[in-house]
Structure 1
Amino acid sequence: MQYFEDLEVGTKASFGHYQVTREEVIEFASKYDPQPFHLDDEAAAQTYFGRLSASGWHTCAMTMRMMVEHFSSQEAASLGSPGIDELRWIKPVYPGDTLRVESELIEKRQSKSKPDMGFTKTRQTTFNQHDEPVMTMIGNGIIRVRDPEASAG
Structure 2
Amino acid sequence: MIEWFDDLSLGMRFKSGEVSVSADDIKRFASEFDPQPFHLDEAAAEKTAFKGLAASGWHTAAISMALTVAVRPFGPHPLMGLGVDDLRWMMPVRAGDVLHLEGEVVELTPSRTKPQGVAKIKWTAYNQRGEAVYTFTPIGIVPRKPNLAS
* Category of TM-score, reference length = shorter chain: over 0.9
Which consecutive residues of structure 2, in runs of 5 or more, have no partner in the other structure?
none
CA-CA distance at 1:78 after TM superposition:
3.6
Query: SS at the partner of 2:24?
Result: helix
CA-CA distance at 1:15 after TM superposition:
1.4
Higher normalized helix content (fraction of residues): 1
Query: Matched residues, percent identical?
Result: 39
CA-CA distance at 1:137 after TM superposition:
1.1
Q: Which amino acid aligns with 1:18?
A: V
Query: SS at the partner of 2:113?
Result: coil
Name the structure 1 match of 2:109: 109
Q: Which amino acid aligns with 1:59?
A: T
Counterpart contact for 1:19–1:97, Cα < 8 Å:
yes
Distance 1:47 1:128 in 2: 22
The worse-fitting range, judged by mean Cα deviation, of 51-60 and 14-23 is 14-23
C-alpha RMSD of the superposition: 1.7
Name the structure 2 match of 1:69: 70
The worse-fitting range, judged by mean Cα deviation, of 26-35 and 141-150 is 141-150
Name the structure 2 match of 1:40: 41
The worse-fitting range, judged by mean Cα deviation, of 1-10 and 88-97 is 1-10
- Write out the 4+ residue segments of structure 1 that deviate beyond 4 Å after TM superposition: none
CA-CA distance at 1:34 after TM superposition:
0.5
CA-CA distance at 1:148 after TM superposition:
5.1
Q: What TM-score do you get using the length of structure 2 for normalisation?
A: 0.92
